Amino acid sequence: MTGLEHRLLAGAYARLPTDFYAPQVPTPLPQPYLIAFNPDLGEQLGLPAAPGPRDIDTLCGNHVPARVRPLAAVYAGHQFGVYVPQLGDGRALLLGDIIDADGNRHELQLKGAGRTPFSRGADGRAVLRSTIREYLASEALHGLGIPSTRALAIVGSDQPVYRERIETAAVLARLAPSHVRFGSFEYFHYQGRDAQVRALADFVIDGHFPAFTGHQDRHARLLDAVVERTAHLVAAWQAQGFVHGVMNTDNMSILGLTLDYGPYGFLDHFEAVRVFNHTDRHGRYAYANQGRIALWNLHALAQALSSLIDAPRREAALERFEPLFVGAYGALMRRKLGLRQPQAEDAELVDSLLHALQDGRADYPAFLRRLGAFRPHDADTRRPLLALSRTPQAIDAWLDAYSARLSRETDSAEARQADMDAANPLYVLRTHLAERAIRLATDQQQYDEIERLRQLLARPFSPQPGAEAYAEPPPADAGDIVLSCSS
């Protein structure tokens, strides 16, 4: 099997004119060592099960194969609703492309590979803590079947990096078919560079939506596709209790992938207004706002494409968002509740459940997973659900309504439970679990817990022997953790 060094190709993105990026070589990482390697993704890419020294050097940017031309892409974006005319890869480099076993092309990015022309005075590095968070979350979302950039490896170093305190540097190797963002289009649009907007849209269409290539209305179809993918993406986040935390337009993928993990979190107890990002004082990126914000961001994208698509057609594309989002979320929640025959009142049943969970601070993933074992006529199956709530009578009342609703289903309880178990993860990347893996890595140089979690999260629906504790809600004294944006 050939190592990464021999598999990397010059990136397709590098064939665009240099309006779109700055050529940039990585800054060497002193005395690198491997912290994590994702063997599942490695296998899909046809890489050896463990990277050799040369590949470790490639994964952190210390070795750049002769064929590739690393670059930092330029983009802009609306951050917390405010337009910032120039952002760009300030600490990520697109090293090159790699073709996987199925013939699909992926961009390989190194995040934390040093300064670029877009670093804006910052150091171009990532700290080990944040690379572990991104590594685990990418694989957790992928394990849940939610589109995401993927994480291949983390390479660490003892090099100090200054954040709120001194930490150490690491490079995350991540992959995606494309890292183009809504903000990539905004950058050119707001400078009036319509030819570049068109060139970038055609580049994305040719590479990722080839069915639209050559069509007169291809740009409108691209917008339709992004609306649809984004609606499905955010509906899936909502259903699985994921909060991205910083849905700025520069963090929104044109392919509808979860992109740029920072102060994200998964809900433990259900709380609609839960905010994980401690700089988000007004809750713009709170859990329950994510659908609205996705639409706001799509409006920003549509505006950036206004030289290519006329206003009525843009409006028509955007109008599809809400029905798509509501429909996708409803379908996912029905699956989670084991309701196979859709009924008009199902949305109401979901809504009343969320209220009951919120009132009693009940754990969202544990409740839904346990609900699969609920049998309307067996009081013993009610207890583990009531035990999760501080207001069990509200849950009790909801279970009565749910029982009535189940009586209109025709499948056996066992078939329903199997369905529900495939929709409600047993293992979730809860903040306290991620924090423990991070502490072991940063304080004790023990990296096994990262791989342990990755394995559980890669198959989150299947019980794994010895992992019972990972399926439990956080200990009562864990408290609500808010996360720093600095990474």
The catalytic residue positions are: 250
Q: How far is residue 121's CA from residue 417's CA, in Å, rounded to a whole number?
A: 54
User: Least distance to ligand AMP from the beta carbon of 379, Å?
Assistant: 49
Maximum Cα interatomic distance, the chain, rounded to a whole number of Å: 68
Q: How many residues bind ligand AMP (CB under 6 A)?
A: 15
Q: Taking contact as CB under 6 A, which single stretch among the options 19-27, 116-124, 132-140, 327-335 is the one that binds ligand AMP?
A: 116-124
Least Cβ distance, residue 118 to ligand AMP (angstroms): 6
Contacts of 369 (CB under 8 A, 6+ apart): 421, 424, 425, 426, 471
Q: What, of Mg ion, ligand AMP, none, does residue 62 touch, CB below 5 to 8 Å by kind?
A: none
Q: CB count, 10 Å around CB of 79?
A: 15
Q: Which of 139, 260, 268, 280 binds Mg ion (CB under 5 A)?
A: 260
14 binds, among ligand AMP, Mg ion, none (CB under 5 to 8 A by kind): none
Of the listed pieces 111-119, 162-170, 250-258, 276-284, which binds Mg ion according to CB under 5 A? 250-258
| Complex with ligand AMP: residue 262 or 338, whichever CB lies closer | 262
The only residue of 246, 267, 309, 441 in contact with ligand AMP, by rule CB under 6 A? 246
Residues 339 to 378 in contact with ligand AMP, rule: CB under 6 A: none
Residue from 329, 348, 331, 355 nearest 234 by CA = 329
For residue 245, the minimal CB distance to ligand AMP (Å) is 9
Contact between 277 and Mg ion by CB under 5 A: the answer reads no
Output the CA–CA distances (angstroms, integers) from residue 7 to 10, 184, 261, in the order listed. 10, 28, 27
Q: How far apart are alpha carbons 97 and 293 in whole angstroms?
A: 32
Residue 295, both tokens:
């639409």
Evaluate whether 172 touches 110 at the Cβ level (below 8 Å).
yes
- Please say which residue, 39 or 90, places its beta carbon nearer to ligand AMP: 90
Q: Environment class of residue 486 by beta-carbon count within 10 Å: exposed (0-12), middle (13-18) or buried (19+)?
A: middle
- Angle, helix 321-337 to helix 346-359, in steps of 10 degrees: 70
Structure tokens at 176: 């995606």
Per rule CB under 5 A, is residue 289 in the interface with Mg ion? no
Least spacing, CB of residue 90 vs ligand AMP, in Å: 2
Q: Which stretch binds ligand AMP (CB under 6 A): 14-22, 100-108, 119-127, 273-281?
A: 119-127
The interface mask with ligand AMP, positions 259-278, x = CB under 6 A, is -x-x----------------
Q: Which is nearer to ligand AMP, 87 or 286 (CB)?
A: 87
Which residue in 410, 350, 339 sits closest to 372, CA to CA?
339
Rule CB under 6 A: choose which of 44, 119, 159, 352 binds ligand AMP. Answer: 119
Is residue 89 a contact point for ligand AMP (CB under 6 A)? Answer: yes
Number of helices and strands (H, E) in the chain?
17, 12
Nearer to ligand AMP, 87 or 483 (CB): 87
Q: CB under 5 to 8 A by kind: which of Mg ion, ligand AMP, none does 111 bind?
A: none
C-alpha span between 132 and 172 (Å, rounded): 8
Number of residues that bind Mg ion (CB under 5 A): 2
C-alpha of 82 from chain center: 23
Q: Do residues 470 and 433 lie in contact, with contact meaning Cβ atoms separated by under 8 Å? A: yes
The site partner of 124 among Mg ion, ligand AMP, none (C-beta below 5 to 8 Å per kind) is: ligand AMP
**Can you give the three-state secondary structure of 335-402, one letter per residue?**
HHHCCCCCCCCHHHHHHHHHHHHHHCCCEHHHHHHHHCCCCCCCHHHCHHHHCCCCCHHHHHHHHHHH
Instruction: Determine, following the binding rule CB under 6 A, whether residue 91 of this chain makes contact with ligand AMP.
Output: yes
- Binding ligand AMP by CB under 6 A: which of 32, 42, 70, 88? 88
Is 134 a binder of ligand AMP (CB under 6 A)? no
Residue 260 CB, shortest distance to ligand AMP, in Å, is 4
The answer to whether 138 touches 258, Cβ cutoff 8 Å, is yes
Q: Which residues bind ligand AMP (CB under 6 A)?
A: 87-91, 118-119, 122-125, 246, 251, 260, 262
